Structure 1
Amino acid sequence: MAASVLKPLVLATTLVLAAPQASLRAAEPAASASPVFDVGELDPSIPACRDFNAYANGKWVAANPIPADRTRWGAFDELREQSLQAQRDIVEAADAGADKATAGSIGQKIGWLYRSGMDAAAIDAAGFDPIKPDLDAIAKLDDTAAIVAWLDEAFARGDGQGFGFGPGSDFKDAARQIAFARQGGLGLPTPDYYTQDEYKDIRSAYLAHIAKLFELTGVPAADAKAKADGILAFETRLAKASLSRVELRDPANQYHFMTIEEANRITPHFDWAAFFKALDVPAGDGFSLSQPEFFRQFDAMLADVPAAQWRDYLAFHTIDDASEYLSTPFQDENFAFYGHTLNGQPEQRARWKRVLEAVNGGMGEALGQLYVKQYFPPEAKARAQALVDNVRNALKARIEGLDWMSDETKAKALEKWSTFLPKIGYPDTWRGWDGLDIAPDDYFANVRAANAFNYRYRLDKIGQPTDRYEWHMTPQTVNAYYSSGTNTINFPAAILQPPFFYAHGDDAINYGGIGAVIGHEAGHGFDDKGSQFDGAGNNVNWWTKADRERFEARADKLVAQFDAYAPLADQPDKHVNGKLTLGENIGDLGGLNFAYDALQAADGDKPDPMIDGLSRDQRFFLSWARVWRGNIRDKAQLVLLNTDPHAPAKFRAIGAPSNMPAFAEAFGCKAGDPMVRPEDQRVRIW
């Protein structure tokens, strides 16, 4: 519930920003060359060498408008919609059988959690009663000591505000989990939203949103407006002390290990020893106060911001965090600002979809345990493992063949490669849910209980050995990720399905889809951030100075390429941030090259079956492009340009292929064609 409570810090880089989810059809172990690509989707009026995305995806995008309850629609979203239906079947079956299910079973808990969320009458009757005790407690805070004590207590129950706190691998000793305290406390997407003129309308809407939530709790309109003004000023001060998204990409800005005593000297009004004690977390020899200047300002605000302004800030975020789980007026206001105003979504999602999201948030891995039984057969895992092995081998060959890297650095890169841990489908060991109490008729209490239970589960990792086999995505998530702290590549069950993976598809389609995804995640181990960690997950330099300079010069070309892309036709001054998206773009470029090499190794000496008139290489690149087909609302795209480390999908479809001679050869492109980057601008890294 609380935005400031952190998930484990896994330094994960994902395939997509969100975690769309999808069902997985039963798979067969053997592949064949049966058609799985609809050539009718291609637009022959647009040359592939001019705009490959429009050629491959334009007709589909035109024929598939964004649904009113979404901000975007594409391949991932289609899969998520399928998944929602599959998961709905699971939770509704769990609900139907919950009263007779084994007491305390995950089926009963999931069923009751879903049932309580679908009971709109009971939720509406409760109004905002569930948070009145919190608001009453906040109203009594009259000085710095009381505010600090409240923060300690709120974090202890998983509802902290103002900053983030959670476990993660120690950057200097990744085998252990330590605590990380990180900047936070903002209600708008990034610090720029508080200071830049271009976001003044968003700030005005945010002020109205804050005031509206207070009015819904009975605060007179004039008083609510005054509170909103104070809260915006409060958050603006935090924003000015916060690092940007690009700055936060630097590991040096993510980790500052210090003792409790050293941290207390930075925050003399906030006692970290008392905080750790309140959370029942071992302090050990220290923790990461990750952005010291932010906490220096946070502490100054404890000293000089009036208690009344602190009360308003804490009360607002208590209401705002809870609003999705309170009565209809609160839910509607939450959507009106975050969904409609900020992201341009015309209609709110159906209640069952919102409740299912809460089930995933509270008991996602438990739901995944039920999901895997129905949608992920063992043979699919075995087929995926073979693809992972082949793509990893292609990455190794690429490293060995680099002409710009010294043997000394290559040896270190290959050492890291050798320690990759691929994880496929779902955890080998499922976590337990004993101790989580779920009632059939109290939605807010259930969500809060699950939040507290999961936060305690994460806090208990602090001081313990790092578990490389732990998952940080549920099996029903259509996504994948790489973790620098554990050097693992992770592929949930739900991404191992069309259009990424076909049980009966030919190799070209599978390597262009899931093969490139595998390569993308493996490539993160060697992107601008991942390359600063060794195979054990430690933030150490394993490069020679000259090799690092050569790497960065090549990466700078990729920054320039994506800096030039402007996704909004009516706002040509809004460009992709090449530095923010660099890691994902390196992942795409490397991943597509690794997958292409793996395809050639697997099928290069076999006759090309020329399915539907498409060559093997053409099908490979078309499979890649199809993964990124889709459309997005302009408002949502603007937010993502500021916050998302992934480039817009249409540029991911063309960005990597335009740097590959194999693409030009496959489609007969010539120098000067838009899909053929000039030789001096072509990016070659891994």
Structure 2
Amino acid sequence: MHLSTSARRLAISIAVLSSALAALPAAWAAPVLPGDDFFDYVNGEWLNSVEIPADRSSWGVGAALVEDTNLRIVKLIEGLAAEPSSAEAKKIADYYASFMDEAGIEAKGLAPLQPALAQIAAIGDKRALTKALGASLQADVDPLNATNFFTENLFGLWIAQGLKDSAHYTSYLLQGGLGMPDRAYYLDDTPSMKELRGKYLAHIAATFRLAGIADAEARAARVFELETKIAATHANREDSADVLKANNNWSAADFARKAPGMDWAAFFASAGLGGQKKFIVWHPTAIAGAARLVNSVPLETWKDFLAFHSINQVSAALPKALADQHFDFYGRALNGTPQQSLRWKRSLAAVNAAMPDALGKIYVAKYFPPESKQRLQQMVSNIVDAFHLRIDKLDWMAPATKKEAHAKLKTLYVGIGYPEKWASYEQLQVVPGDALGNLLRAERLHTQQQLAKLHQPVDRAEWCMPAQLVNAVNMPMQNAINFPAAILQPPYFDPSAGDAVNYGGIGATIGHEISHSFDDQGAQFDSKGRLRDWWTAADGKHFKQASAALAAQYSAYKPFPDLAINGQQTLSENLADLAGLSASYDAYHATLANKRVTPEADQQFFIGYAASWREKERDEALRRAILTDGHAPDKWRTATVRNLDAWYNAFNVQPGQTLYLAPKDRVRVW
């Protein structure tokens, strides 16, 4: 994905930025040389002048776009509330209004939560516990693309094509059960992690107290101890990202033998998976470890675990005290964000989570013109052509490998703006004034829709992102890419700007997503989306050597004296940045045909790229990202320019400057 989990923003207006980039001269005043720090060369003045808003853990280009997009959508929702045009439009308006009704939520207090807590309290034995754990299973996002994936439910569920059977959907089980983002938060013996653990323990206890649950401290200690045991069974980030280690095919009957301790038949029946005979277990140690803990940990501790997470996951729809407590840990302690978002932003986030396609439909109709789609389709075509040419020129790749690489490009599905089919919310019951009930019903419907895919043919054109999301994604098992409409606007894509800026901005993003088909993960899937080694031994060796060089390059970056970037953890995204920028540069030059290429034009291209990564992060958020995110921080993603010969020529970068690499040391993959 082009964007990290935290979105980016510029302090100046987006429209002004695009025109300003287009008008930049060949040389301009900057406190550093481009060869010493290209990120600061382009963005230094902005970094020194901007302040991160109090309700944000970071601020940059994408966050500005998110803010602008959200303001547009809220105005659309207000229009629907005044005059709904359909039953779906009324559901959108009612869902939003229910979350905005703070007074109504306060008046109801914890009453809407009591049925769920009563069900947990009534659990009388381990079989009933297993059924409750199954009932809590929710369909989650793609682990190949969710760099910050974690779920508070004991397991994560993903419905997608089989790793080696791309013609059928299957069920994937993933590790879960943690209230903090990763096993490292429970197990790493650093002062910052120890401090966070203390704050998380206090958060659990405070949540119990605010919910009126007795013995809050003792219960919190039991929950924390259980989660620590769960974390110890989890795969680390690097292993979790290794799809070969994820390809564990278990039959339904295998679970009793490979993960004893749970009544798996009861679990699957309760989860709606009773008819499934085959599963792919992404994290076998975690699945087996959780089953052992279900068997060995006292029932009352598990009931405390379920009670806490039942409250913690729905705090947005609960009275202010609980919502504030949730923010105090997840916003303030975990990400360093001093102030909670305004109510309308949180309410819009709730609607986006519940009915993403319904909002996407109205957003696209208003803000994504057909002309933009046509121009972007042409850019995609040009960049795909550039990839074909780059493959042809590879002197290290065998003809058979090249043939399959070309096939991947020829069969690649590229979705621009919005999906071909919108999801339906006809079955979603939205009750005015019932914020919690609406949230729970929306979650259930989403999981039911995902489970229904198990009985349907595979849809390669299915989207995994809504049109109003500022992001982009490659799905290697579908051999497909999504570019939502919300990212296809200034400054990433400006219809009024020249090609240099657009190819440096959205062009690099397009190239990035295409190149994910050939990064260390995507290259493991063939043109039909099957996990298959289609490389010759020599080609595979060369690719691994080049990849290792890039991983080493990034592992040498140290944002903090005590914390370096993990080059292996961020390798997929770094490979995509490098290959995508290179291909976009080639495509841009192809548009110039026989025109003379000037250094100024190339400067525009690279400055456009670096400006698209403007971001400023709080230290807490940056530390979290380094530990858990598959992307390198934006400053260091910008540094990939040091591997392109054209950047050296454009800015006269010389030996001795910080980013300078001798030609033999510049990483070249695709």
The TM-score bracket by the shorter chain reads over 0.9
Distance in structure 2 (CA, Å) of the matches to 1:300 and 1:21: 46
Question: C-alpha displacement at 1:166, in angstroms?
Answer: 2.9
**5 Å matches for 1:62-461?**
62-98=48-84, 101-102=85-86, 105-155=87-137, 161-198=153-190, 199-220=193-214, 223-281=215-273, 283-461=275-453
Partner in structure 1 of residue 42 of structure 2: 56
Q: Report the AA paired with residue 209 of structure 1.
A: H
Cα RMSD (Å) of the superposition? 2.2
Is 2:487 the partner of 1:495?
yes
Distance in structure 2 (CA, Å) of the matches to 1:187 and 1:495: 31
Distance in structure 1 (CA, Å) of the matches to 2:482 and 2:80: 28
Closer, same or farther: CA 26–93 of 1 in aligned 2, 3 Å: farther
Contact 2:21 2:608 survives alignment (8 Å) = no
Is 2:649 the partner of 1:670?
no
Distance in structure 2 (CA, Å) of the matches to 1:627 and 1:279: 43
Question: C-alpha displacement at 1:45, in angstroms?
Answer: 2.9
SS state of the match for residue 457, structure 2? coil
Distance in structure 2 (CA, Å) of the matches to 1:26 and 1:472: 27
Is 2:477 the partner of 1:477?
no
Q: Report the AA paired with residue 325 of structure 1.
A: A
Partner in structure 1 of residue 633 of structure 2: 648
Distance in structure 2 (CA, Å) of the matches to 1:73 and 1:307: 44
Q: Report the AA paired with residue 640 of structure 1.
A: A
Q: Report the AA paired with residue 45 of structure 1.
A: P
Write out per-residue CA displacement over residues 598-657 of structure 1, whole angstroms, 9 at most, x where no aligned residue.
11111152145x7xxx71100000000000011000000011111110110111112x21
Distance in structure 1 (CA, Å) of the matches to 2:14 and 2:555: 41
Partner in structure 1 of residue 589 of structure 2: 600
The percentage of aligned residue pairs carrying the same residue is 39
Closer, same or farther: CA 446–43 of 1 in aligned 2, 3 Å: farther
Closer, same or farther: CA 45–164 of 1 in aligned 2, 3 Å: closer
Contact 2:21 2:604 survives alignment (8 Å) = no
Is 2:521 the partner of 1:521?
no
Question: C-alpha displacement at 1:433, in angstroms?
Answer: 1.4
Contact 1:664 1:675 survives alignment (8 Å) = no
Distance in structure 2 (CA, Å) of the matches to 1:272 and 1:311: 19
Distance in structure 1 (CA, Å) of the matches to 2:277 and 2:124: 34
Is 2:622 the partner of 1:634?
no
Contact 2:185 2:197 survives alignment (8 Å) = yes
Closer, same or farther: CA 591–160 of 1 in aligned 2, 3 Å: closer
Contact 1:227 1:309 survives alignment (8 Å) = yes
Partner in structure 2 of residue 512 of structure 1: 504
Q: Once structures 1 and 2 are overlaid, which stretch shifts more, 419-428 or 259-268?
A: 259-268
Closer, same or farther: CA 156–471 of 1 in aligned 2, 3 Å: closer
Question: C-alpha displacement at 1:481, in angstroms?
Answer: 0.5
Question: C-alpha displacement at 1:344, in angstroms?
Answer: 0.3
Distance in structure 2 (CA, Å) of the matches to 1:501 and 1:268: 53
Q: State the number of aligned residues.
A: 653
Structure 1 gap segments, 5+ residues each: 1-12, 28-32
Question: C-alpha displacement at 1:192, in angstroms?
Answer: 1.2
Distance in structure 1 (CA, Å) of the matches to 2:8 and 2:656: 37
Write out per-residue CA displacement over residues 550-594 of structure 1, whole angstroms, 9 at most, x where no aligned residue.
101101111111111122xxx312111111100000000000000
Match 2:4 to one of 16, 22, 36: 16
Q: Once structures 1 and 2 are overlaid, which stretch shifts more, 666-675 or 614-623?
A: 666-675
Distance in structure 2 (CA, Å) of the matches to 1:300 and 1:272: 12
Question: C-alpha displacement at 1:257, in angstroms?
Answer: 1.3
Partner in structure 2 of residue 7 of structure 1: none
Closer, same or farther: CA 271–306 of 1 in aligned 2, 3 Å: closer
Question: C-alpha displacement at 1:313, in angstroms?
Answer: 0.8
SS state of the match for residue 665, structure 2? coil
Distance in structure 2 (CA, Å) of the matches to 1:275 and 1:303: 13
SS state of the match for residue 414, structure 2? strand
Partner in structure 1 of residue 566 of structure 2: 577
Question: C-alpha displacement at 1:179, in angstroms?
Answer: 0.6
Contact 2:139 2:158 survives alignment (8 Å) = no
Distance in structure 1 (CA, Å) of the matches to 2:516 and 2:93: 38
Contact 2:9 2:60 survives alignment (8 Å) = no
Distance in structure 2 (CA, Å) of the matches to 1:625 and 1:34: 15
Closer, same or farther: CA 425–593 of 1 in aligned 2, 3 Å: same
Contact 1:152 1:279 survives alignment (8 Å) = yes
Q: Report the AA paired with residue 34 of structure 2.
A: A
Is 2:578 the partner of 1:589?
yes
Distance in structure 2 (CA, Å) of the matches to 1:640 and 1:267: 32
Distance in structure 1 (CA, Å) of the matches to 2:339 and 2:14: 34
Question: C-alpha displacement at 1:274, in angstroms?
Answer: 3.4
Distance in structure 2 (CA, Å) of the matches to 1:36 and 1:374: 27
Closer, same or farther: CA 49–224 of 1 in aligned 2, 3 Å: same
Distance in structure 2 (CA, Å) of the matches to 1:402 and 1:456: 46
Q: Report the AA paired with residue 69 of structure 1.
A: D
Partner in structure 2 of residue 10 of structure 1: none
Contact 2:207 2:325 survives alignment (8 Å) = yes
Q: Report the AA paired with residue 206 of structure 2.
A: K
Write out per-residue CA displacement over residues 380-408 of structure 1, whole angstroms, 9 at most, x where no aligned residue.
10000000000011011111111222222
Distance in structure 2 (CA, Å) of the matches to 1:34 and 1:650: 23
Structure 2 gap segments, 5+ residues each: 141-150
Q: Report the AA paired with residue 646 of structure 1.
A: H
Question: C-alpha displacement at 1:360, in angstroms?
Answer: 0.3
SS state of the match for residue 580, structure 1? coil
Question: C-alpha displacement at 1:18, in angstroms?
Answer: 4.4
Contact 1:21 1:84 survives alignment (8 Å) = no
Distance in structure 2 (CA, Å) of the matches to 1:18 and 1:463: 35
Distance in structure 1 (CA, Å) of the matches to 2:249 and 2:112: 38
Distance in structure 2 (CA, Å) of the matches to 1:83 and 1:491: 15
Is 2:604 the partner of 1:616?
no
TM-score by length of 2: 0.94
SS state of the match for residue 659, structure 2? coil
Q: Once structures 1 and 2 are overlaid, which stretch shifts more, 189-198 or 630-639?
A: 189-198
Distance in structure 2 (CA, Å) of the matches to 1:146 and 1:430: 38
